[in-house]
Structures are given as C-alpha cells and as structure tokens.
Structure 1
Amino acid sequence: MTSLRFAFLFLLLSFSALAQKDYKLWLQYNETSNSVMISEYKSNLKGIVVLGNSETIKIAEKELKTGFSDMLGNISEIKSDIKGENNLIVGSESNLNAEIKNELQSDFAKINDEGFIVKTVSFKNKKQIIITGKNDVAVLYGVFNFLRILQTNKSIKNLNIADSPKTSIRILNHWDNLDRTVERGYAGFSLWNWQKLPDFIDQRYIDYARANASIGINGTVLTNVNANALILTPQYLEKVEALANVFRPYGIKVYLTARFSAPIEIGGLKTADPKDPEVINWWKNKSAEIYKRIPDFGGFLVKANSEGQPGPQNYGRDHVDGANMLADAVAPFGGIIMWRAFVYSEHDANDRAKQAYAEFQPYDGKFKENVIVQVKNGAIDFQPREPFHPLFGAMPKTPLMMEFQITQEYLGFSTHLVFLPKLFQEVLESDTYQKGKGSTVAKVVDGTLYQNKLTGIAGVANIGNDLNWTGHPFAQANWYGFGRLAWNPYLDSETIADEWLRSTFSNDENFIKPVKSIMIESREAVVNYMTPLGLHHIMDTGHHYGPGPWVSNLSRPEWNPTYYHKADQNGIGFDRSKSGTNAVSQYVPEVADLFDNLETCPEKDLLWFHHVSWDYKLKNGQTLWNGLALKYQEGVNQAAAMQNVWNKAGKYVDSERFNEVKMLLEIQYKEAKWWRDACLLYFQQFSGKELPEGVEKPTQTLEYFKSLKFPFAPGNG
C-alpha cells in the first residue's frame, strides 16, 4: 500500500508541476541551459541591491529572486548597500545616490513617468547594472524587461535601454457579467468572484496583475460594455475597491462600465437625460463616492445608443452631451471617459460600415479634454480582416483610442490557433494619408500625428478562469502581444512571437523557427478558410460559431450574413465604391481612390469594397470563383501544415501542453474544412461553376451544414 500511495502522490505532484506550466503564462522562468549565457549571467550578477521599501519595490525584489532562482539557481545575494562590482541595483530615481543619478541624467531625459532605464554603468570604477525609473511602477516594468532578457538568452554585458510606453492608457476590457458569465469569452467563467469578494482575495487576482504588469498593461475595465448598473451600488463598489487594492502596487488602475440609465435604475430618478440637473448631480455624487473608496479610479467606459444600450439619444441629446456630462463628473478626480464609437442603427440599413464615421466625425473638437473616443480597428466588428476604420485620422481635435479584440469571437474561439498581433500590426501600419504619406494609424493612436495628449489602446480580454487563463495555450500569445503593442505600436509581430515562444516554451532554435512560422501565418490561414478576398461577417448568427452565409431571416438586415456578401448570379461582394454606398468617401482621396478602383483595390479587400463578377480575372489569372475556392483550400492546407509542424515539436515541449495544442489543431483542421465546404457549396448555387482542380470535394451536402445548430456555443453571455 505504501508504494501505491507513493506512486499516486508522485503522479499528483507530476500533474501539478505540468499544470503549473499552463498557468504560468510567459513567466515560466525556465532553467537556463545555454552554458555560455549562464557563465555571463553569473559573472555579471553577483548581488542585488534594492533601494526603497514600497509594496511595488518589494514585488520587484520578489520577482528578481524568483527569476534568478528558477533560471540560474540562487546566484545572487541580497545586499543592503553597494559593495564590490557586478551588482544589480534596483530603485527609483529618488532613491539613487547623487553620483549614479548624475551618470544617468541624459537617460532620465529620454523617458516619461512610466519609462524605465536598464543600463550598465561604471560607478567608482566598478561595473554595475542599474534598473531605475521615475517611480516604483516604472522600476517594476524595468525588472520584468530585464528578466525577459534573461528568459530569451540575450547578453547583459553592456546594457543601454531607455524605454517608455508610447500610449498612456493600455487597458484590458473585460466583457464580464456579474453572474460570472463572459460575453464573447471562451476560457471559462469570469475571474471576478463577486460572491466571495471583498473578503476573499483569490491568488488569481494577484497573478493576473503580475502578468499584466510584466507587459506594461496599466488598466482594467472589470465589467461588460453591455453594462449592469448594479456595479455602481455600494455593495459592489466595496468589492471593486478590494480588487483595486490588489492591482495598485502593480500599476494597474480599475475602470468600470457606466450604464447610461443608472440614475433611473439605481438612483430612483425619472430620467437619465444628460442635460437634467438632477442627473448631472447624481453622476457627480456617484463619482465622488467611487473616488472616496478608490482614489486612483481610472474612470468610465461607456457603450451608449448601440445594440439596444441606453444613451443620450434616448432624450434627443447627442454623444457629446452624454460624454461631456460624465467627463465633468470625473474631471475633479483626474478621471477619464472612454466613449465607444461602436454604433449602428436598424433605421439606417444603407451600409453599417459608414455609420460610426457619420455619427462621430461631425463632433470632432467638441468633446471635453478628458474624453477619448474608443474606435474598433475596423468599421464592422472584429472580423478576421477589415480595412482600417475611416475614423482614424479623421478627428484631429479628438483623441481616438484603438479597440482591438483579443478574444477570438469571429476567429474560431479558443479552439483555433490565431496569432492576433499580426492582425494588430497590419492595422497599426495602415496609412491614413491624413497628413500625407506616413500618417499611419499607429501615429493617430499614440498621439504623434495630431499631438493629442490623451492616448490609449484597449483590448477585449480573452481571459477566464480556465487553468491556462485563455482556453488555448497559444491564445496566451494574444494577451502578451496586445500588451507589447499597446506599449509600443511599432513593434514587429515576429519579434513578439519570438519573445513569447522563448519565454513560454524553449530557446531552442529548432523549435523557435518552425513554430514561429506557423504563428506568423496563422491569421492569414484563418482569413483564407473563413473569409478570403474581403468577405466578412458570414459567421453563423448570434454565437458566431462556424459558417452561416445563408442566414437571411433576422429582424435587422445588418445582422444577416447575406447583407454583407450579397452573392447572386452576377457575382459577390458589398459595393462600397462611389457607385455603391460610397463608403470609400470616408477615407482621404489617396485611400478612397485606391479602394474605389477595381484594378487598384488590394485583393485582400476586394469583396469588402466591390461586388465582383464570378468571371472577374484576379491578378494571378484565375477567375474570381476559382480564386475564391482556391483560397478556401489554401486555408485548409495551412491548417494541416500547422499540425505537421507541431507534431515535430514534442521533444521541446512538456507533454501536457504538447497534447493540448495537438488536439486543438485537429479541431481547427476539421473546422477549416467545414468552413471551406459549407461556404463553397452555398456560393456555388450562385456561381453555377464547378470547383477548380486542387480543391477537395465536400463530403456533406449544403442541407447538412444548414441543419447544424449550436444552442449552447460559449461566449453568448
């Protein structure tokens, strides 16, 4: 019996160790196996000198101890003062001695309040490494950056890093409901256990904050944009306060979604009219109540007059009236209002893609200075590919905040491997031409195009209470990559993939090179097997799981996939050219002309802007029908290639994560074929053409695919 118990205990411990790998995200701190780097690290890290004793500095010290211990063994002693050489000196500017501060004077001039310095200096003729910044949170960012250098086996001999975030608000939007369901969430239930808060602080809250701090995320919106006014009641604000206290040492501010009708629902008023004095006073008092509990409360995120949410238009007012009323309420406390531009109306069925621009652009310059308008990356809704939103660059007097979706609502949920930083980069690099060539979306977002002071990037979170946080081990890379691009919108997605793979799995080049290649290709693969050549929003209705290009019976036209692809015997695609809905006119002439002309429109956006004949010749000489079918097949082939690469990666990855990904890639391959077959069978009714050579024939009928129902698909909230 004793031996059996021992064996059982051993199995439990082994499973726990493997499970930890899933849970630890990119902070694995795997033992360094490169003998050359071990020697370099040990010779340059004789001791750690930590200056200051704030809670944040203690977190930084603990992180260094954990990182060094796990990666290198206990190589460094903690010192109370600087003795000898090759020490790591960690502390904010105010805690550095005058000589070191003077040595770093030019570096401090390069960074902002959140920026950090990691530099090798000579102090009293002895070599030291300094991690510093203008405050303790900046130091913590520097510590995580330094540990990433060790994780990725880079040299620390002559460090000279002065790095600052290029945006001021780097924030996760949690679409979490108070009942712990998560709208468009595919990784379990919400992290926030409101029932047990405020007295029970789950270790997950701390680990969540730590993970965000490691990539420079400095804010979190705890609740769904489809808001519940109860979050603003004292019972819940006490719970929010408890979370804010956990997150504060990690540099993370808490924000909440404000339901516009809250003065009626929890305030007992008869109206929520933003011009009504009682309503104005109610929001001022509510803001004061929140800031009394949470002095560093960030402010409110608002979804108004969209998809049934209440807003100022209910009272004959406009977005400016609503946003500015709330802005005045939080302004005395330094708070901001993030007002979402995701609006579309069933009363304007002309072209949903045009509505946000039409509704917001005329208000440029009318919002208060602490309002930032949050705009989705594209004009429809987080599709696998969309042209950049025409609002970017079109409101020079108004700060615009990017809203990306990290969770994969339209990209196969957490069962598909899709590396989203590739999508993010494509959007950020897009040229608006608003001030001539080089006026990229990134320059709008970071404020440099129009010198906006308030800047930000938001990401709709893919985080739940699944053991691995994100449902798919590789979906962790999208959280990581979002944080890195929010810090620096000019980073290359390949650099991000490289960092993440090395920090999460292995530094072995035989693993890195092939797996990085499938990550970089994965987003294009999904576009190919779901919505090639500019197709969009042809997912099944409501849950958005799987294909549904045939759906046409919903009450609002713009909820139907048939509205977007407009397939008929003459061709396929949504005509947004000057002879169609003229959506192209919302871009500056250089961009509008590019998209408007069938010959110059990029083929990746072709069916977004044009209704094209089935016999139209693509640039490769194929007809549109053949090219479309071959793109669907290419996506399936890419999904199969991803499997082949991963199947050879087993020797570099622990068995649990290897098998997890292997099973998920099999699902992805099956679903890629499902997308190809269902869509081509449906569109074939209109083209009347045979599938070209090289495209596999469907094994099921169109009627079969139409019959599939998914009443309990996750993420419907």
Structure 2
Amino acid sequence: MQNIKTYFLLFLLIPLTIFAEDGSQLWLRFPAKNGISADKIISRGNNPTLNIAKKELANHWQGQEIELRTDKSLKNLKGGYTIKSVQNRLVVTAEKETGLLYGVYHILRLQQTKSALKNLNITEKPSYDIRILNHWDNLDGTIERGYAGHSLWKWDDLPNTISPRYEEYARANASIGINATVLNNVNASPNMLRKDYLQKVKALADIFRPYGIKVYLSVNFSSPKVLGGLENSDPLNKDVQKWWKDKAREIYTAIPDFGGFLVKANSEGQPGPQDYGRTHADGANMMADVLKPYGGIVMWRAFVYSPSKEDRAKQAYLEFVPLDGKFRDNVIIQIKNGPVDFQPREAFNPLFGALKKTPEMVEFQITQEYFGFSNHLVFLAPLFKETLDSDTYSDGKGSTIGKITDGTLRPAIFTAISAVANIGEDKNWTGHHFAQANWYAFGRLAWNHDLSSEQISDEWIKMTFTDNEKFINPVKEIMLSSRETTVDYMMPLGLHHIFASGHHYGPEPWGDYKGGRPDWSPVYYHQANAEGLGFDRTKTGSNAISQYFPPLREVYGNIKTTPENLILWFHHVPWKYKMKDGKTLWEKLCYKYDSGVRKIRDYQKIWDKNKAYIDSERFIDVQYKLKIQSEDAVWWKDACLLYFQTFSKQPIPADIEKPVHNLEDLKKIKLNMGHHN
C-alpha cells in the first residue's frame, strides 16, 4: 500500500524529466522544415492568419502545388472549408482565413496519417460554432484539478514577457479546430477583471487571434462589490448594472473580439443572484445585456446544487426548467454531461432536451479528476461519444444530445461545446503522454461529433507515435477499451462518487462525513446495506427518473429494462438479484472489479511488446505510469470488494484473485488535497 502513496506523491511533486522525445510536439510531428517552395503556394493577401497557413505549408507540406482561396459565398460552412483536387493542384477554399488555416491542418493530417491525397473533394462544416476549452487556472499559477504542473499563463510576467508556449498552445488548438478559450477558473477571483489583469489578457488575446482563437473569462458574480466597492452585487441594482456596463466597455476597448463571460454562480458557495433573492435568469440577463452591443455571450453553468434533502442528481433540472424561455438570446446554459459530477460513468444529464426554449451546451472534463489523474491511461472519446449519441427523446426518437446542442433539431443563433482542459506547463503538456489524446479527441469531436472513437484514436496514434500497423492495432485496442476498463476497476454497474474526499484520487466507499454535507459522502451515493446496493431513483426512491422523457423514464424505472451498466445508478439492487448472465449482483460486482485489474495487466504486457516501435523515452514514461495504474486498480478492487462484503456477507468467488490488502489498513490511507469544482 505504501507504494501507491509513494508513486502518487512522486508524480505530484517531481516535474517530468526532459528527454529528446519529451512529448512537447503533441500530435504536430510533421516532417520538419522541408515543405514545398514558396512559389508552389498560391494565395492573395497578407493576413496574419493566412501567413501562418503559408508558413505551415512551407515547413511541412510535401505534396503538390496548393492554392489558398477565400470566397465570401461559403458563409454556410460556418467557418469550415473545402479541399479539392483541380488538375495538378490542391485548392483550399473558405469564407475566412481561419477556415483556410483549418484546411491546411487537415491536409497536413492526411499527409501525416498516410491517407490518400489524390482526387480529393472534401467539404468540412463544424458541428459547433464555439469550440471552447475551460481552463481552471488560478491567478497564483495553480490549476484546480490540474495534473500537468503549474499554469501555462505566467500572470506575474505578463504582459511584458511572452512565453513561446502561448503560441504553441494556440497552434495546437487551431490544428484541431478549437476556436475559444476561457483562461481562468470558474471559481473565479474578482481580480481577473482588474485593469492590470485585463492588459495581461489582451497580450494573450493578441497571440491567439491569428490562430482563430477568442478569449473568454470566468467572472465572479460579486465583482462589483469586491472590486467596485458597491454596496452589493444585486443584478437589479442600477449601480451594479452600470459597473458591468463600464467593465464591458473597458474589456472591449482593449480586446475588440473578446468572447464573453463564463459564470459559476450559487454553486458550492460561489456568489450569485440568489444571494439577493434573484434568479439565474436575472443574473445571466444582466450580464448578457452589457455584452450584447459587442457581440459577446454569457455561458451560465448549470452545475448548481445546494445543501438539500433532494437527490443531488435532480437539482440542476429543478432550478433551470422553471426558467426555460426567460434567458436573453446571447445566453447559453452550460451543462455537465452527467447530473452529478464528471463521473467515470453517469446517466446523461436530464436537463438536456428539457430546456425547450433555451440554448444548451455540453461541458465535458478532459482533465482526469475522477480518472486517476495523469497516472492512468484513459481515452475519453468513448465517454464523449456516449453522451453526444445519447437519445433524450425530447423531440421524439433520435433527439440525441449532439443533435439538440448542435442546432440540427433546434435552430440556434449560436451553438457551443466546452471541456475542462488538462493542460499545464509539463513538457508534454498533459502529464501523461496518452492524456494528449483526450485534448485531441475533444477538439476533433467539437469539430465533427459524427467521428468515431476508433477513427480519432487511429489518427492520434499515427500522428503522435508511428504509422506502423504492428504498433497501431494493439495500442488502439488499449485506448478504445480503457474507459470501460477503468469503470470496471473503479465503479462498475452504475456505482458513482465513491472517491476519497477532496482530491478524488483513490477509493473511499466507507466515507461518511457525518455533520458535513451528505451529498459529499460516498455512502450517500452507494447506499450499501444488508439488503443490497445502489441509489433508488425510481418512484419508490428520489424519482429522478421522472426528469427523463418517455420511454426512458419507464426503461430506467424498471430494474429488468435498465441497462446493467447503470443499474446501481437507478436502483437499490438486492445482493442476490439475478443479473442477465445468471450471476448474482454480488458475483457480478466481483467479476467486474477483477476484470478491470486483469485488463490493466494485459495493457502492461501489450505495451511491453511494443518497445521496438517508438522512442525509449516515451516508452519508459508510459510503462511506468501503467505500473502505477495496475497497482491502483488492485487498490480499488480490494477496497470496494472488502468494504461491500461487510454488507453482502457473501464470499468472493473462488476463481477471483483474493485481496492483497486488509480493509482496516486501506481505511488509514489519507492523501489530502484539493476541493470540489
């Protein structure tokens, strides 16, 4: 057990060693500096974005002559582009230069993945207008839920000293179509809106602009009171409205293309309009009105829950559905993919589809707060896809979250999708070489949510490591199964939020924070007792199923028809309940945990066999992390099975590896850091 603690602390405290192959190039490992000659790149104009596109071609494109062409009639592509083979030339056409840049990265990706480059006839239109990273970076350089070192943003050095990584960051995002970034934590400091900080933000905005990236800020609702010295921050107070109006003018004077505000209000102690007896709509609309003249938007988070007897999974729906249709047209409600909190698996958030007259956007988490931090290899594209492809039935069959939020089913003035970034100042950006794939996957799905997890992993492996099929196929198998494997060794069958308190790294199913918030305690979520396990959300329990549209509420309300991967999310299931394969719930739980452990060990064997195909530096880094993950999987299995066994009173099946830890020893482990977000 001591090993787990040692590994964990090592990876928090020791920066990554700098190697020749340090992962800093991400997936942008194009042929270096031997592209086509300048006379083979045909374009008109001299625009900073166009110049970047031409530079990328001159450095890396090894194909035929290429023409970059803007065409105002392509407005319907919403920032997309076409790529066509015309005689001996490739022609990239877009309404604006940013579209040309995206088109250039597309053909470089085709070259890098050894795809066919003849007879191209490609039209690309992004799924979402705004494709945005949310950074949870603080002004002191720390990152909440960040596992790749300190923040990229060196606030003390800005605006005078510019890190070269700012432009590298912008380039990486542009290469996958990300066009927006929120620079700071949703638990925002009012100081972010100080005049001196806005000059620092301007410096970043100026670097990002040629790459097509707009800057947004998280704002603290109490800023007028804290920064402006006003009596309060009541959104209906005329002085408060004037303060925000003046602040908006100051921001847009410095940054004319500023994107807008992200707001976390009346959640987990953050200030908000409810402090003054006002609604979320009152608060959001006040901000929306001051941004409207400049084209700015408000992304208002639906992650709200307060101390309540009500099931935490129901609270966002209960607060926001009564406000449907009361928000300004430049407000969009940002909704976490699940109703609790970025769990390895959740039922989808029932708020999706329920807001019929209000635009909605998905919030994913790229950073692995609940997925073993940067120690565990977990490819998140399958999770993202599971959410986007979930059918809400809100507008009839086929009302997937993707189609509701991308404007297909509900035409919107603008559409958006977001994810909490996993980027820090580590050389490899994300702490784990494979965590880069989750940044990449979010960008690719934000651009086109019809892409498959397999296609995305295939691209990323070829661009990041090698195009050798002997490496690609087994590594792709690891990536595509890794999310399910992690669910198996952490929280199978719909279990959720049984993490250690605060930092969320390891298991603590026994956690019962008496006197504190019940909904921060693992026992609140798993409800284990002598009868069985799981949270009853049917009519006999919290009735969370009533928030889903038919037929889902009937499907989830019946233990026989509930998908088994969510059975403990919706039902309190008897220990001896017969599952579909004939095993009892207890037996199934044991085999799931065991399966997770076995699969991680298989990953170790597969990885070890692939040493010959990649550089030794990254091979060793990943090998070391897989060792930690394998030990953590055993930690999870032993902690959960030994603890739940105290209720089930059932033996662990004979063909399952016996626990190597003692329950009382496991309960003594304390890794204390961080808090919720």
CA distance in 2, matches of 1:55, 1:493: 34
Alignment of 1:52 onto 2:45: yes
Alignment of 1:451 onto 2:451: no
Structure 2 CA distance for partners of 1:509 and 1:30, relative to 1, 3 Å: farther
Alignment of 1:283 onto 2:244: yes
Q: Helix, strand or coil for the counterpart of 2:573?
A: coil
CA contact (8 A) 2:499 2:509 kept: yes
CA contact (8 A) 1:51 1:89 kept: no
Partner of 1:658: 619
Structure 2 CA distance for partners of 1:45 and 1:638, relative to 1, 3 Å: farther
Matched letter for residue 368 of structure 1 = R
Alignment of 1:469 onto 2:429: yes
Alignment of 1:67 onto 2:60: yes
Alignment of 1:569 onto 2:530: yes
CA distance in 1, matches of 2:97, 2:263: 31
Partner of 1:381: 341
CA contact (8 A) 2:198 2:251 kept: yes
Partner of 2:517: 556
Q: Helix, strand or coil for the counterpart of 2:300?
A: strand
Structure 2 CA distance for partners of 1:502 and 1:158, relative to 1, 3 Å: same
Stretch deviating more after TM superposition (176-185 or 445-454): 445-454
Displacement, 1:504?
Answer: 0.5
Structure 1 residues 216-365: aligned runs within 5 Å: 216-346=177-307, 348-365=308-325
Partner of 1:184: 145
TM-score normalised according to structure 1 size: 0.90
Alignment of 1:90 onto 2:68: yes
Structure 2 CA distance for partners of 1:605 and 1:439, relative to 1, 3 Å: same
Stretch deviating more after TM superposition (161-170 or 297-306): 161-170
CA distance in 1, matches of 2:166, 2:38: 31
CA distance in 2, matches of 1:682, 1:486: 40
Matched letter for residue 104 of structure 2 = V
Q: Helix, strand or coil for the counterpart of 1:372?
A: strand
Partner of 1:488: 448
Displacement, 1:16?
Answer: 7.0
Partner of 2:630: 669
CA distance in 2, matches of 1:16, 1:342: 38
CA distance in 2, matches of 1:55, 1:519: 37
CA distance in 1, matches of 2:146, 2:31: 30
Partner of 1:81: none
CA distance in 1, matches of 2:636, 2:42: 57
Equivalent of 1:171, from 129, 132, 145?
132
Partner of 1:623: 584
CA contact (8 A) 2:513 2:520 kept: no
* Structure 1 unaligned spans of 5+: 1-14, 33-37, 77-85, 95-104
Partner of 2:79: 114
Displacement, 1:45?
Answer: 11
Structure 2 CA distance for partners of 1:201 and 1:560, relative to 1, 3 Å: same
Q: Helix, strand or coil for the counterpart of 1:200?
A: coil
Q: Number of residue pairs matched?
A: 660
Matched letter for residue 385 of structure 1 = R
Matched letter for residue 68 of structure 2 = V
Partner of 1:395: 355
Matched letter for residue 69 of structure 2 = G
Partner of 2:460: 500
Alignment of 1:532 onto 2:492: yes
* Structure 2 unaligned spans of 5+: 1-16
Alpha-carbon displacement from aligned partner over 1:517-560 (angstroms, at most 9, x marks no partner): 11000000000000000000000001101001111025100000
* Matched-pair identity in %: 55
Displacement, 1:31?
Answer: 7.7
Displacement, 1:374?
Answer: 0.1
CA contact (8 A) 1:56 1:136 kept: yes
CA contact (8 A) 1:431 1:440 kept: yes
Partner of 1:587: 548
Q: Helix, strand or coil for the counterpart of 2:419?
A: strand
CA contact (8 A) 2:147 2:424 kept: yes
Alpha-carbon displacement from aligned partner over 1:243-280 (angstroms, at most 9, x marks no partner): 00000000000000110000011001010000000001
CA contact (8 A) 2:78 2:129 kept: no
CA contact (8 A) 2:502 2:675 kept: no
Partner of 1:25: 26
Structure 2 CA distance for partners of 1:238 and 1:519, relative to 1, 3 Å: same
Q: Helix, strand or coil for the counterpart of 1:403?
A: strand
Structure 2 CA distance for partners of 1:120 and 1:46, relative to 1, 3 Å: farther
CA distance in 2, matches of 1:637, 1:17: 31
CA contact (8 A) 1:219 1:253 kept: yes
Alpha-carbon displacement from aligned partner over 1:580-612 (angstroms, at most 9, x marks no partner): 110000001211111000000000000000000
CA distance in 1, matches of 2:426, 2:241: 41
Equivalent of 2:563, from 593, 602, 625?
602
Displacement, 1:424?
Answer: 0.3
CA contact (8 A) 1:180 1:189 kept: yes
CA contact (8 A) 1:290 1:297 kept: yes
Structure 1 residues 197-212: aligned runs within 5 Å: 197-212=158-173
Displacement, 1:396?
Answer: 1.6
Displacement, 1:30?
Answer: 4.9
Alpha-carbon displacement from aligned partner over 1:481-540 (angstroms, at most 9, x marks no partner): 000111112211110000100110111111111100110000000000000000000000
CA contact (8 A) 1:525 1:634 kept: yes
